[in-house]
Amino acid sequence: MGDAAVPDDTALLRAHVAGDRDAFAELVRRHRDRLWAVALRTLGDREEAADALQDALISAFRSADRFRGDAAVTTWLHRIVVNACLDRVRRRQARPTVPLVDTDPRPVAPVDSETALDVRAALARLPHDQRTALILVDIQGYPVGEAAAILQVPEGTVKSRCARGRARLAALLGHLRNLGADGAVPFQTGTGVGEEAR
């Protein structure tokens, strides 16, 4: 009886298509936190992410009858969110704007360490395809196969994007690698300054 009381995502989507006014709201309630996280980390700007998520949910609401069931409903929803984010990125690149006084987009968290801010800034510098793959696999914890389904690319493409993105992040964040107890870098290789004799 426990399973009948809690419909799965596919049943909720079917109920929505059949006219149940509450079914889609329940789907959104179940997945909103992860969908929001993907949008925010992909775009790096809260307002852009909110707009992209809203666009994505409206699109999913309207196109639910075209869901084929080839993937899980959550994968389908994430794909729509990623597409909405990428659409915003493409529009932003097609119509570049001149920022007003200090409008550099920075994700804001209530409590955040300097290291987390450094990582977020480095992540924002990655190409969108690498950033999106890393967010899905390394941050959101999706298996490579599911991330590939969300991004509609082969698994090997996700793996290579993640590998290239991780390599770029390592280069961007190398200064964090060998911090001493006081937070200072003990020495820089090849400078001869501060290097220990071996």
The ranges assigned to domains in the chain are: 1-95, 113-177
- Indicate the pTM of the whole model: 0.57
Two tokens, residue 123: 């992540």
Give, for all 198 residues of the chain, the pLDDT tens digit.
445 578 899 999 999 999 998 999 999 999 999 999 999 998 888 999 999 999 999 999 999 999 988 889 999 999 999 999 988 888 877 665 555 445 455 544 443 477 777 888 888 899 989 999 999 998 888 899 999 998 999 999 999 999 999 999 888 888 776 555 555 544 444 443 333 333
120-130 per-residue burial string, b: 16 or more CB within 10 A, e: under 16: bebbbebeebb
Which CATH architecture group holds 1-95?
A: Orthogonal Bundle (1.10)
Q: State the pLDDT at residue 193.
A: 39
- What's the token pair of residue 11? 């049943």
- Residue 148 near residue 158 (C-beta atoms within 8 A): yes
Q: What's the CATH number for 113-177? A: 1.10.10.10
**Collapsed DSSP state (helix, strand, coil) of residue 174:** helix
